[in-house]
Amino acid sequence: MTLDLPLVFTALMGVAMLAYVVLDGYDLGVGMLMPAADQREQDLMVASIGPFWDANETWLVLGVGLLLVAFPAAHGVILGALYLPVAAMLIGLMLRGVAFEFRVKAEGWHRELWNWLFWFGSFLASLAQGFMLGRMITGFEPGFGYWLFALIVAGGLCGGYVLLGATWLVLRTEGALQKKSLDWARWGLVWVALGVALVSIATPFASETVRAKWFDFPRTLALMLLPLASLAAGIWVWMATGRLKRGAKTAEWAPFAGAAAIFALAFAGLAYSLFPYLVMDKMTIWEAAAHPSALIFILWGAAVVLPFIAAYSVFSYWVFRGKARAGLYD
């Protein structure tokens, strides 16, 4: 039996992008929460993501790299249509990278300036990513309504990253900052619920293809398990944070696991909505794929590189497990 290579690379690209969204999502969320903390808490927040944040971005490089080499026709269309938001995302990622390093050496108002730039870079990158997602769902259609839809998706993704960041801080910190993080997590969860509700209502109107895939009852009745599971994950996060706020014995990893589950379920729904298109209603994965000989060569490379990236990620999280301590980067 021969492999359907475009399908294999679509799955690999999906895994890379989901890993990026969850892993880099939490440190982008921590960056967006920085203005809500005092200086000592900001040092702890930076220490909680310090060993991981740059490695987390490796998954973005892998996902975009797979898009470039495995689906070159779609790569040109997608990045051409998203030139400005991609540039904004890269500026945001560069800003937060520079700010992360410079804030350590800065003193007084200079340190505060780099903290604000770290926040702005995190916010800009998150907003740009959400905007790009919204434009992809609608196949880059022109018109005010489609641009407004993309902005709604962007806001929802920012809220999701705040939720991931807050639940990560619940896991990695203790004391007053952990208590603050529990409140931030609940606020982020409400933001996510509102964003998901708005996007769920707007998406069928924004895309006829998506509407047909989700609302062709009774054939699609089983798909309702996805939103129900997302609701259950949201309730899980709300209850877990509530128990921790009351001081009850609850695993501190539970809120982050619930937030990651929300993202995984949302990603599964998005994958179902878009498949088999890379450019919605315009280009399928088979139309965009490179020549089979090129895909086979790339697959061998991915088989070598991907285990190393995964192993390094697991190793780094194991080495730096436990609670964050201030001064790690001072």
pLDDT tens for each residue of 16-49: 999 999 998 999 999 999 988 888 888 888 888 8
Confidence of residue 1 (pLDDT cuts 50, 70, 90): very low
CA-CA distance, 328 to 248, in Å (whole number)? 30
Mean pLDDT of 103-124: 83
Instruction: Give pTM, 2 decimals.
Output: 0.90
What contacts 24+ positions apart, CB below 8 Å, involve 212-221?
213/272, 213/273, 214/273
Mean pLDDT of 103-119: 80
Residue type (1 letter), 94: M
Q: What is the pLDDT at residue 320?
A: 84
Spatial CB neighbours of 260, under 8 Å, sequence gap ≥ 6: 22, 164
CA-CA distance, 116 to 122, in Å (whole number)? 10
CA-CA distance, 169 to 146, in Å (whole number)? 35
CA-CA distance, 228 to 212, in Å (whole number)? 20
Closest CA to 254 of 236, 269, 268: 236
Closest CA to 330 of 35, 140, 50, 34: 50
- The sign of the CA dihedral 55, 60, 65, 66 is positive
Which residue carries 């937030």 as its tokens? Answer: 259
* Measured CA distances, 114 to 39, 95, 109, 296, 299 (Å): 12, 9, 9, 45, 41
pLDDT tens for each residue of 295-307: 888 888 888 888 8
Q: What is the pLDDT at residue 327?
A: 62
Give me the residues paired with residue 284 across strands: 277
Residue 323, CB-side half-sphere exposure with 13 Å CA sphere = 9
* Measured CA distances, 136 to 18, 54, 280 (Å): 16, 26, 7
Contact 167, 244 (CB under 8 A): no
Mean pLDDT of 177-197: 89
- The sign of the CA dihedral 116, 122, 123, 125 is positive
Q: What is the pLDDT at residue 21?
A: 92
CA-CA distance, 36 to 93, in Å (whole number)? 21
- Regarding predicted confidence, which is higher, 197 or 84? 84
CA-CA distance, 219 to 131, in Å (whole number)? 31
Q: What are the boundaries of each domain within the chain?
A: 5-319
Q: Tell whether domain 5-319 is in CATH 2.40.30.
A: no
Which residue carries 């991609």 as its tokens? Answer: 86
pLDDT tens for each residue of 8-20: 999 999 999 999 9
